[in-house]
């Protein structure tokens, strides 16, 4: 019985995701474009107003690179698009599960995240020089993706393409897109590019909003998500030990 529930959840999600995506397209309150106008999300100015404080916390985190995992160290399914040491992630939330220590040492970041309705997953996304993420699509359109530029050394050499539309990050500026469209990203500069990366629930009309919230919560209970959260906990503990060693 303990092994049955994850299998049932996985199969149920797999067979229903297409139908849910159709509902989300019909009842989306913000449309169905690949890249959105930021004016559609009234919380964005408040988050952007805190970007310098968030950047200061990022600078402090980057002093401990050995404690920051590769994305695929947490989410093994990312191995299909990254298998090196050039894309690292510092998590605050994963499918709604809060990383208490990371939020406590980055209080401005935690405050900004609390202003995002439906926020589910959030982390510093760190692309090292010459890193390219190949074209891929996210698993489900019931969440949208938010990027806040924090460290963009050469905007003309860092970018993202979503459904054929090219965009550039800017420090202190936001980008919102639907990652269920094919997309790719790159950092061709000589320095790190870092953004605050957030997945949040797509604004939907009822009853789709309520159904979508439940669907995403159930997805978080699936076997592969729970396994990723456990791996994240181990990295969290390792980073906390490293950090505390240097802060008495």
- What pLDDT, on a 0 to 100 scale, did the predictor assign at position 246? 83
pLDDT in tens, 66-88: 899 988 888 877 778 888 889 99
On the CB side of 44, CA atoms within 13 Å amount to 17
The yes-or-no verdict on residue 8 having pLDDT over 50 is no
On the CB side of 194, CA atoms within 13 Å amount to 20
The answer to whether 72 touches 82, Cβ cutoff 8 Å, is: yes
Distance of CA 35 to the CA centre of its chain: 16
Angstrom distance (rounded) from CA 78 to CA 139: 12
- CATH code at 86? 2.60.120.330
What is the domain range of residue 54?
4-245
The answer to whether 185 touches 160, Cβ cutoff 8 Å, is: yes
Residue range 215-244: average pLDDT? 86
Q: Number of folded domains in the chain?
A: 1
Residue range 223-237: average pLDDT? 84
- What pLDDT, on a 0 to 100 scale, did the predictor assign at position 81? 86
Question: 160-171 burial string, b = 16+ CB within 10 Å, else e?
Answer: bbbeeeebebeb
Q: Are strands 183-187 and 97-98 parallel, antiparallel or unpaired?
A: unpaired
pTM attached to this predicted model: 0.92
Angstrom distance (rounded) from CA 236 to CA 231: 9
Q: What residue spans of 49-174 are helical by DSSP H? A: 51-61, 71-74, 100-105, 107-114
- What pLDDT, on a 0 to 100 scale, did the predictor assign at position 13? 61
pLDDT in tens, 144-171: 999 999 999 988 999 999 999 999 999 9
């Amino acid at each position: 019985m303990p092994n049955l529930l994850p299998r049932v959840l996985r199969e149920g999600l797999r067979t229903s995701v297409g139908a849910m995506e159709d509902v989300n397209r019909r009842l989306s309150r913000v449309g169905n474009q690949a890249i959105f106008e930021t004016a559609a999300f009234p919380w964005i100015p408040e988050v952007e107003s805190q970007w310098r404080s968030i950047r200061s916390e990022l600078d402090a985190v980057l002093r401990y690179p050995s404690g920051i995992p590769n994305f695929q160290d947490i989410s093994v399914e990312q191995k299909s698009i990254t298998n090196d040491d050039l894309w690292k992630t510092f998590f605050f939330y994963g499918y709604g599960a809060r990383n208490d220590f990371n939020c406590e040492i980055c209080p401005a970041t935690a405050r900004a995240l609390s202003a995002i309705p439906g926020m589910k997953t959030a982390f510093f996304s760190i692309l090292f020089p010459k890193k390219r993420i190949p074209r891929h699509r996210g698993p489900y359109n019931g969440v949208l993706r938010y990027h806040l530029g924090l460290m963009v050394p050469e905007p003309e050499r860092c970018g993202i393409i979503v459904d054929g539309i090219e965009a550039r990050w800017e420090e202190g500026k936001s980008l919102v897109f639907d990652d269920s469209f094919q997309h790719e990203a790159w950092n061709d500069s000589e320095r790190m590019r870092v953004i605050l990366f957030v997945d949040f629930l797509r604004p939907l009309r009822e009853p789709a909003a309520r159904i979508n919230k439940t669907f995403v919560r159930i997805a978080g209970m699936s076997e592969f998500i729970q396994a990723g959260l456990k791996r994240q906990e181990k990295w969290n503990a390792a980073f906390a030990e490293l950090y505390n060693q240097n802060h008495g």
